[in-house]
């Protein structure tokens, strides 16, 4: 089981929306996913209330529960646990970062969003976690995206796909679906599938990096 935490203090950047649509896209690839919702706003529970299709399972938890829940889930049959966090700094946010194998930081290409993730990034660095930005709600094409992408690429990993602002995202959530279910052939669905493909590869890189770590440990042990 691998955990992916969607995190940034900036409200409305797209944590819950991406969490839902990526969970559905992962499910469509045959993976089993559950979502831990740490936000009292309950965007994901509301979404689930409108959902008629099977899965992913959703559970609401608070900061006091996450460590125990994650310990139980580590050896579970889930391929992925997605953790959705609130748009404010809280004890729960820090625990959710701590629990993550990868943190996804959604970010709109606006000066306010680009400034707002700094405390999140500081916490991620402090806890030595892998992370990636996702440029979300972008215009289809603009100098702003290029500037934001250049800035983010310097700070960390940026996928090879941006998520453009499209009504499919809003409409899908409204009827309890992911964008890939709502309009499977639409551009929003294509972008989300591409993003999930990128994230899966990134998780594999994480695994091979940790293998490299072990090789290094063995090498060091032999040399000692
Ligand atoms: N790519 C997109 N295109 C169009 N609308 C989007 C997109 N991503 C998110 N939205 C819309 O933006 C709003 C905020 O998104 P969302 O609730 O996912 O943000 P959030 O980061 O979870 O916010 P909070 O911090 O308040 O939990 C929602 O109305 C959602 O439908
Ligand atoms: Mg949210």
Report which of residues 196 and 144 the model is more confident about.
Answer: 196
pLDDT at 223: 54
Ligand 1, atom 29, lies closest to the CA of 170
Does the global pTM surpass 0.85? yes
DSSP the chain: -EEEEE--SSTTSSHHHHHHHHHHHHHHTT--EEEEE--TT-HHHHHHHT--S---EEEE--TTTHHHHHHHHTTSS-SEEEEE--SS--HHHHHHHHH-SEEEEEE-SSHHHHHHTHHHHHHHHHTT--EEEEEEEE-SS-HHHHHHHHHHHHHSB--S--EE--HHHHHHHHTT--HHHHSTTSHHHHHHHHHHHHHHHHHHHHHHHHHHHHHHHHHHHHH-
Output the domain CATH number for residue 126.
Answer: 3.40.50.300
Domain hosting 118: range is 2-223
Chain-wide mean pLDDT for the chain? 90
Which is the closest atom of ligand 1 to the Cα of 43? Answer: 17
Q: What's the average model confidence in pLDDT over 206-212?
A: 51
Question: Is the predicted pLDDT of residue 138 greater than 90, yes or no?
Answer: yes
| pLDDT grade for 217, boundaries at 50, 70 and 90 | very low
Q: What is the pLDDT of residue 23?
A: 98
Q: Which residues line ligand 1 (CB under 6 A)?
A: 11-17, 39, 41, 43, 86-87, 136-137, 163, 165-166, 169-170, 173
Give me the number of domains the chain comprises: 1
């Amino acid at each position: 089981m691998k955990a992916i935490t969607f995190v940034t203090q900036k409200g409305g950047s797209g944590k819950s929306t991406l969490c839902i649509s990526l969970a559905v896209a992962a499910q469509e690839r045959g993976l089993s996913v559950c979502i831990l919702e740490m936000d009292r706003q309950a965007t994901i529970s509301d979404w689930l209330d409108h959902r008629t299709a099977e899965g992913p399972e959703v559970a609401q938890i608070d900061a006091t529960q996450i460590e125990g829940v994650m310990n139980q889930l580590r050896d579970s049959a889930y391929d992925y646990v997605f953790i959705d966090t609130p748009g404010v700094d809280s004890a729960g946010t820090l625990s959710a970062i701590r629990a993550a194998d990868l943190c996804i930081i959604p970010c709109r290409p606006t000066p306010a969003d680009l400034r707002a993730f700094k405390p999140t990034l500081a916490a991620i660095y402090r806890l030595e976690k892998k992370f990636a930005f996702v440029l979300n709600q972008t215009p289809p094409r603009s100098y702003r995206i290029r500037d934001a992408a250049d800035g983010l690429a310097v700070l960390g990993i940026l996928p090879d796909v941006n998520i453009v602002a499209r009504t499919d995202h809003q409409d899908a959530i409204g009827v309890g679906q992911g964008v890939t279910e709502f309009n499977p052939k639409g551009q929003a669905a294509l972008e989300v599938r591409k993003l999930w493909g990128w994230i899966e590869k990134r998780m594999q890189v994480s695994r091979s990096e940790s293998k490299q770590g072990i090789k290094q440990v063995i090498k060091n042990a032999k040399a000692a």
